[in-house]
Amino acid sequence: MNKITAFCMIALVFCAGTAFANKSSVVISAPESAPKGSAVTITLTVSHNGNNWFHFTDWVYVKVNGAEVQRWTFTRDTRPESEVFTRQVTVTVDGPLSIEAESDCNVHGSAGVVKATIAPK
């Protein structure tokens, strides 16, 4: 009976850590407009409760005008540095820019694609 109790307690502690977990989500920070020909920095803020060795954000990408410009892939050994982290890319404004970003939890999935635009001045 003691082994069963110990197992249940360990399982409860493990499950409690992931009980507050959620889908991985992204917020895009970028200027609404910028001079044509200028370089702008796009910042992605990724949020995911419960990043640990078993359960973590496993990828993040950003697309500009439908083309993937950057992807970050994470593993159990190379997890993101915290539950909320940022990544940046710099792009040149050569016309209207349509930005899409998404992140994914290896257990719960993605909160979905988020979008932003940058208009040339």
Model pTM score = 0.82
What's the pLDDT tens digit per position in 10-43?
554 444 444 557 999 999 999 999 999 999 999 9
pLDDT, the chain, mean = 89
Tell me: pLDDT of 80 over 70. yes
CA nearest neighbour of 46 among 83, 71, 9:
83
Distance CA 83, CA 5 (A): 31
Residues of the chain above pLDDT 90, percent: 78
Distance CA 44, CA 46 (A): 6
pLDDT of amino acid 53: 86
Rounded to 5°, angle at Cα 30 from 26 and 31: 155
For residue 117, give both structure tokens. Answer: 């635009």
Which class in CATH covers the domain with range 22-120? Answer: mainly beta
Q: Which residue matches tokens 């419960």? A: 50
Distance CA 121, CA 107 (A): 42
pLDDT of amino acid 118: 98
